[in-house]
Structure 1
Amino acid sequence: MPIRLGANPIGWSNDDLQHIGGKTPLETCLREAKEAGFEGMELGHKFPREPEALKAALAPFGMACVSGWYSAELLTRDADAEMRSLRPHLDLLKAMGSTVLVFAETSNAIHGDRSKPLSARPVMAAGAWAKFGRRLTEVADRTLAEGVRVVYHHHMGTIVESEADIDALMTATGPSVHLLLDTGHATWGGADPAALARRYRSRISHVHAKDVRRPVMEKARAQGWSFLDAVLGEGAELGVYTVPGDGMVDYVSVFRELLGYSGWVVVEAEQDPEKANPLEYAKRGVAHLRAALAEAGLS
């Protein structure tokens, strides 16, 4: 399919801290996403998890179901056990016509714990990647046989955060495992998202577009903030993440490395909606992405 722009509802209602944007109705999120120019939505905690109810929620706004996050525990269970846990989510995505499954290992992750600085995040022992990669590949083989591709979400505060982690993951896994390139997590994790796009072009099947406010990122590093504290920002200040065009990521360079890409580019810029108006920022993100895609020759 051609490139389509989608949104993650985390700019309206946070999933890790559900009181952030907690009073915002799902219908407001969908209406404003449509107004901003998005064609589809990823799932969040306010979405129905039964196919007919989800279709009924999305239909008035002409929104497709792009995908949805899945928290895996492959470090502690085998592929059979993971598939049993995954089954309801996988069946929902299949029923909605989604072709990618956002997958991240979270059994020892700290991104949802405000008491832990990111410096305390888990690090995989070098000898453990092979076993993890085999399990992940088996899961990905099985979901792909059902028409849904696993796209692995590298993420701050997890075992796949840095460029070295991403390289180790991709080396340890088979061709059924593809990468979700997240420009914001890559940048904050110390990687160049354009370089990652170039290196793994043939195995990138999903893109999350969020920008990074460099001063907040540097302050978070220097002061040992948790992931969520950095996302929310200190006091009245804005947080580390924002929409494309409002930070340090060069999207034209990223998209030039993705020539031929087809699929979704999803704005997943978690912010406190009390500080950053979701509709205003969504419109800014869409405008910047459309311009960057055109300049890179992808539109």
Structure 2
Amino acid sequence: MKTIKGPAVFLAQFMDSKPPFDSLDGLCKWAADLGYKGIQIPTWETALIDVTKAGESKTYCDELKGKVESYGLKITELASHLQGQLVAVHPAYDIMFDSFAPEEYRNNPKKRTEWAIEQLKSAAKASRNLGLDIHGTFSGSLLWHTSHPWPQRPPGLVEMGFKELANRWIPILDVFDEQGVDVCYEVHPGEDLHDGVTFERFLKATGNHKRVNLLYDPSHFILQQLDYIAYIDHYHEFIKMFHVKDAEFNPTGKKGTFGGYEDWIDRAGRYRHPGDGQVDFKTVFSKLTQYGCDVWAVMEWECCIKSPEQGAKEGAPFIKSHIIQATEKKFDDFAGTQTDEEELKRILGV
């Protein structure tokens, strides 16, 4: 077993144009003052990191790492969710996802995808330069619009979709492999990797690429009504990142999983601050500890009710209270005795 590391915080949702949320120094001091021990850095936030430069310069990474550590923090992982999304975008979503890329790549899906792929490759090298061996991202999606099969999907469509997705990711995964860094896909509604079955499809399509791993976030499974505890039993060997985020699902006679195009606060399934939703975090932390998942517990704020300020303040003690110090001894060791093979035989009566 391993003791989960933490608490840490994902900085993405806290970025702002006002101090202390507009700079790495400001966010580091803020996080440290709240009791966090680590930060997860979104690579699309250029105020925090120049991921291209980080992939090219060990000196730049040493300075970045030194700055973070001067506040008593560690960089837990880099994350590239927005760039990962752009590796595979169905044309129906082009306009809305264009904002994820710099202006010069908008209205040009081919150039946008090429930019995203280079960003991911830089993130692999940047992770290695920072001494990190895991990285979080999204898979992107070519098939999501067919998730509810009406009209019915033509034979071979799903297989072709995952083959194409894998073809786009394998060169990226190979760069991560060269750098000794695992890619942890956040299994998420809207992505082609949105549950266990789709993760397995992708893993198979990549030829079981050894760098394909998982970022575990139970909140996404509450919204899908998937057993998020049994999921750990199935996939614990792949879980190398962990977002501590809550959710709740309260269907009515008027709305359910699909949400009725409502805003988040009015949906049957909605994200909540850790402890305010339906996730059984005691069991989650127990399972991850039992299986020896070597992860940082990273708080992600995406609550539709509680403010980010309150969420951040409550997040560190919430995680700290759930971290289990893995035992190195058995509780009944005091009653044990030394035995030899002959005594074992006598106990068995053989």
1:157-205 deviation digits (Å, cap 9, x = unpaired): 2222244323433443413211111111232233222111110111111
1:36-81 deviation digits (Å, cap 9, x = unpaired): 322221123241325436336524422222223322355488xxx6
Matched, 1:25 2:22: yes
Give the counterpart letter for 2:261 in structure 1: W
Q: Residues 190, 22 of structure 1: CA spacing in aligned structure 2 closer, same or farther, 3 A cutoff?
A: farther
Structure 1 equivalent of residue 220 of structure 2: 185
* 3-state DSSP of counterpart to 2:138: strand
Give the counterpart letter for 2:242 in structure 1: V
TM score, norm. by length of structure 2? 0.64
Taking only the aligned residue pairs, the percentage that are identical comes to 21
* 3-state DSSP of counterpart to 1:168: helix
> Structure 1, unaligned stretches of length 5 or more?
14-20, 111-115
Q: Residues 155, 248 of structure 1: CA spacing in aligned structure 2 closer, same or farther, 3 A cutoff?
A: same
CA distance in 2, matches of 1:244, 1:136: 32
* 3-state DSSP of counterpart to 2:317: helix
Among 90, 103, 121, the alignment partner of 1:87 is 121
Among 265, 268, 271, the alignment partner of 2:300 is 268
Contact 2:141 2:192 in 1 (8 A): no
Output the aligned Cα RMSD: 3.8
Structure 1 equivalent of residue 234 of structure 2: 199
Q: By how many angstroms is 1:151 displaced?
A: 0.8
Give the counterpart letter for 2:218 in structure 1: T
TM score, norm. by length of structure 1? 0.73
Give the counterpart letter for 1:38 in structure 2: Y
Among 274, 287, 290, the alignment partner of 1:244 is 274
Q: Residues 33, 119 of structure 1: CA spacing in aligned structure 2 closer, same or farther, 3 A cutoff?
A: farther
Contact 2:28 2:68 in 1 (8 A): yes
> Structure 2, unaligned stretches of length 5 or more?
55-59, 90-109, 329-350
Q: Residues 91, 193 of structure 1: CA spacing in aligned structure 2 closer, same or farther, 3 A cutoff?
A: same
Structure 2 equivalent of residue 213 of structure 1: 248
Q: Residues 165, 149 of structure 1: CA spacing in aligned structure 2 closer, same or farther, 3 A cutoff?
A: same
Give the counterpart letter for 1:25 in structure 2: D
* 3-state DSSP of counterpart to 2:297: strand
Q: By how many angstroms is 1:136 displaced?
A: 3.3
Within a 5 Å distance, the mapping from 1:58-73 to structure 2 comes to: 58-70=68-80, 71-72=83-84, 73=86
* 3-state DSSP of counterpart to 2:243: strand
Structure 2 equivalent of residue 278 of structure 1: 308
CA distance in 2, matches of 1:65, 1:216: 39
Structure 2 equivalent of residue 39 of structure 1: 37
Q: Residues 139, 212 of structure 1: CA spacing in aligned structure 2 closer, same or farther, 3 A cutoff?
A: same
* 3-state DSSP of counterpart to 1:213: strand
CA distance in 1, matches of 2:87, 2:11: 26
Q: Residues 137, 294 of structure 1: CA spacing in aligned structure 2 closer, same or farther, 3 A cutoff?
A: same
Q: By how many angstroms is 1:107 displaced?
A: 5.7
Contact 2:176 2:211 in 1 (8 A): no
Q: Residues 136, 161 of structure 1: CA spacing in aligned structure 2 closer, same or farther, 3 A cutoff?
A: same
Alignment: residue pair count: 272
Larger Rg: 2
Deviates more, 1:46-55 or 1:247-256: 46-55
Give the counterpart letter for 2:32 in structure 1: K
* 3-state DSSP of counterpart to 1:202: coil
Among 170, 179, 194, the alignment partner of 1:161 is 194
Deviates more, 1:123-132 or 1:258-267: 123-132
* 3-state DSSP of counterpart to 1:89: helix
CA distance in 2, matches of 1:38, 1:66: 11
CA distance in 1, matches of 2:275, 2:5: 18
Q: Residues 208, 269 of structure 1: CA spacing in aligned structure 2 closer, same or farther, 3 A cutoff?
A: same
1:187-225 deviation digits (Å, cap 9, x = unpaired): 223322211111011111111110013349996746433
Contact 1:137 1:176 in 2 (8 A): no
Q: Residues 164, 277 of structure 1: CA spacing in aligned structure 2 closer, same or farther, 3 A cutoff?
A: same
CA distance in 1, matches of 2:65, 2:325: 35
